[in-house]
Amino acid sequence: MYNELNENEKAVIERKGTERAFSGEYDDFYEEGTYCCKKCGTALYTSADKFSSGCGWPSFDDELLNAVKRVPDADGRRVEIVCKNCDGHLGHVFEGEHITDKNTRHCVNSISLIFKKV
């Protein structure tokens, strides 16, 4: 059973849209806790792996074990990331930018996430 989504959430999570840069509630947000999939509630990321990339979307350099699936994007250039449990669209993953020691940036739509404070 999945959480009910509004039309804006469906546009991003189910139809693979993207929210406007710098518009999401978690872009400049740094409380301690866990970020979960808005559609199914699966834990995806921890605040320890969140960092400021300046790209306009929440950025993480690691995900929780077995939480996120990487799939080729329809554009043929990028790698899409989806919730491994429900296939809800999260955003894209980029490697080789040398922004963090892990050299990975999960660029995630805030609208795809629910934050659970510790």
78 phi and psi, to 5 degrees? -110, 170
- Dist CA 86 CA 96 (whole Å): 28
State the catalytic residue, choosing from 36, 37, 83, 107.
Answer: 107
Q: Return the percent helix, strand and coil in the chain, to nearest 5.
A: 10, 35, 55
Residue 107 annotated to the active site: yes
Q: Could you list the active site residues?
A: 107
